[in-house]
Amino acid sequence: MKIIDLTILILGLNAAIDRGHKADWEETKIHIEAGDVFSWLKTKDFSIDLSYYNESRARIAEEISQEWQSIYHGYAGEERRKWGIQNNGLNLLLAWTNEIIQQKF
């Protein structure tokens, strides 16, 4: 995984949030735990361009999903205290993608 793999995702999430999109908080956590966030996001109307994570980069999406799961297992329930968020699942994904960057790079 390279930093660009994460920053492209951050740009997409940020743009969706800016357009006023919200993801249900609990539903987002269910998909993080299940490891299927990317396929779930594709079914929603958030207008997030996930084409970067096509078949040739599916492994990267899987790695990101595993990192989100790791953060979930370590910090679920502490999102407000640690990242200052508690309502929008897209903000959760954004914060945790940023957390991956901080941990890995």
Give the Cα-Cα-Cα angle 64, 22, 26 (nearest 5 degrees).
65
Would you state the torsion angle of the CA atoms of residues 14, 18, 20, 26, taken in this order, to the nearest 10 degrees? 20
Cα–Cα dist 95/76, whole Å: 13
CATH code at position 72: 1.20.120
Share of the chain above pLDDT 70, in %: 100
Residue 38 three-state SS: helix
Residue 15, classified by CB atoms within 10 Å of its CB into exposed (0-12), middle (13-18) or buried (19+), is: middle
Q: What is the pLDDT of residue 47?
A: 85
Q: What is the number of domains present in the chain?
A: 1
User: What is the tens place of the pLDDT at every residue in 58-102?
Assistant: 999 999 999 999 999 999 889 999 999 999 999 999 999 999 999
> Is the Cβ–Cβ distance between 2 and 69 less than 8 Å?
no
Is the pLDDT at 45 greater than 90? The verdict is no
- Is the four-CA dihedral 14, 46, 93, 57 of positive or negative sign? negative
Instruction: Name the average pLDDT for the chain.
Output: 94
Record the tokens describing residue 41, joined without a space. Answer: 């996001």
Is the pLDDT at 56 greater than 90? The verdict is no
Note down the domain range covering 55: 3-104
